[in-house]
Structure 1
């Protein structure tokens, strides 16, 4: 594994499930959604149909809670054969609003890491999701003071990272990404000549999972928790 980061100038952090807890709230919301539709289908079938609807809608709504809410409503209409009540639709909207109002729970060790790394490196946030929601979470997290730049990206593919690198006016070899998703925060970076550190979170959205074969072909570091990042420098 690559353990030498001597050329790094900029360190980018993913936000959701890297800086703070996020995916856990989606699993809770899915469970509440399944309870609302329990008379129409099993929870497993509802979960499957909701995932399909979310992925289908990414091209329309992008990533984030608002797109998730719209996908839940569409899924509810279809699974109920358009018999769902207005009261149930209101309950679905309330699930989404509760998600948007969740308190920010920082991942253990995050602030310590940021305090240490900002002394030597330029730190940025590179995250997917809804712009308003991500800006609000960053503000409430009290972490903004550590970051030179915040980039809310519509997606995290190679072309998106190349655009970010051009904006930062650095070489790809001078960027290190730290995040919980192999698909979004690690593999695209390695493919364009940047570096990445994988910090797994205990819950991962199925859409962000990658095959074992693809995972094994990529050269990157993995730490069990974000506090271990400092041991690599």
Structure 2
């Protein structure tokens, strides 16, 4: 069946994101160097992030709160107020960081917007994602924007039914196998994986290599040709 609707992930698919989390995590590690070894601190922070997803969701604000919680835990409640202030400042800086588009992002969206319905489907903090989209300069190219709390098969099915002709005539492209590819395939659509050099540990998953609706590309520049072949 002809693909009529294409969904794009945002973070680490259209623009850089995880790199800023890694830089902030390095800063966090340095702040607590007298209290915990880096590997132990990273494990504790990841555990806090996993634990807090249901409370704070995805994004910078939840990450910042998880850093504060971890700092309190590893210091047994003795973390200096100055360190908490540094962590909060680091979080604010992340929320103000300029957008850096990834290679081929604009070209791919522009080309496909001429022939298909193109959607931005991203998860995370509403205000931060709206800010990044506005700064990206890509906003006017999308026929619809969906900022969701999580990406699951039912969520994708509802989005592609609302904006298109259902998931079986839709394709989703992104850097996360867990969020951008596997649930779309489960919903009946095509999932296209474009790896990013940095991927958050909680987004790792095994690729569904044998599924007929799974594809992998090296970069977004190859996407328009792939869509043409699938038609």
TM-score, normalization by structure 1: 0.94
Q: Secondary structure at the match of 1:160?
A: helix
Paired position in structure 2 for 1:175:
170
Q: Secondary structure at the match of 2:208?
A: helix
1:163 deviation in Å? 2.2
Paired position in structure 2 for 1:3:
none
User: Is contact 2:117–2:164 with CA below 8 Å preserved after alignment?
Assistant: no
CA distance in 1, matches of 2:143, 2:224: 20
1:160 deviation in Å? 1.4
Q: Which of 113, 117, 125 is the aligned partner of 1:118?
A: 113
1:61 aligns with 2:56: yes
Q: Deviations over 1:72-130 (max 9, x none)?
A: 00010011000001110000001101111111000011111111111100111000110
1:161 deviation in Å? 1.1
Q: Which of 93, 96, 101 is the aligned partner of 1:101?
A: 96
1:19 deviation in Å? 0.6
User: Is contact 2:52–2:66 with CA below 8 Å preserved after alignment?
Assistant: yes
User: Is contact 1:7–1:173 with CA below 8 Å preserved after alignment?
Assistant: no
Give unmatched runs, 5+ long, in structure 2. Answer: none
Paired position in structure 2 for 1:215:
208
Q: How does 1:180-191 map to 2 (within 5 A)?
A: 180-191=175-186
Paired position in structure 1 for 2:145:
150
1:164 deviation in Å? 1.3
Q: Which of 32, 49, 74 is the aligned partner of 1:37?
A: 32
CA distance in 2, matches of 1:78, 1:139: 37
Paired position in structure 2 for 1:203:
198
User: Is contact 2:58–2:123 with CA below 8 Å preserved after alignment?
Assistant: yes
Q: Secondary structure at the match of 1:12?
A: strand
Task: Tell me the number of residue pairs that the alignment of Structure 1 and Structure 2 aligns.
Answer: 226
Paired position in structure 1 for 2:224:
230
1:165 deviation in Å? 2.4
Paired position in structure 1 for 2:127:
132
User: Is contact 1:186–1:198 with CA below 8 Å preserved after alignment?
Assistant: yes
How large is the Cα RMSD of the aligned pairs? 1.2
CA distance in 2, matches of 1:218, 1:188: 13
Q: Secondary structure at the match of 1:19?
A: coil
CA distance in 2, matches of 1:229, 1:83: 51
CA distance in 2, matches of 1:231, 1:96: 39
User: Is contact 2:154–2:187 with CA below 8 Å preserved after alignment?
Assistant: no
1:70 aligns with 2:54: no
Q: Which runs of 4+ in 1 moved over 6 A?
A: none
Q: Secondary structure at the match of 1:132?
A: helix
1:217 deviation in Å? 4.2
User: Is contact 1:11–1:122 with CA below 8 Å preserved after alignment?
Assistant: yes
1:157 deviation in Å? 1.1
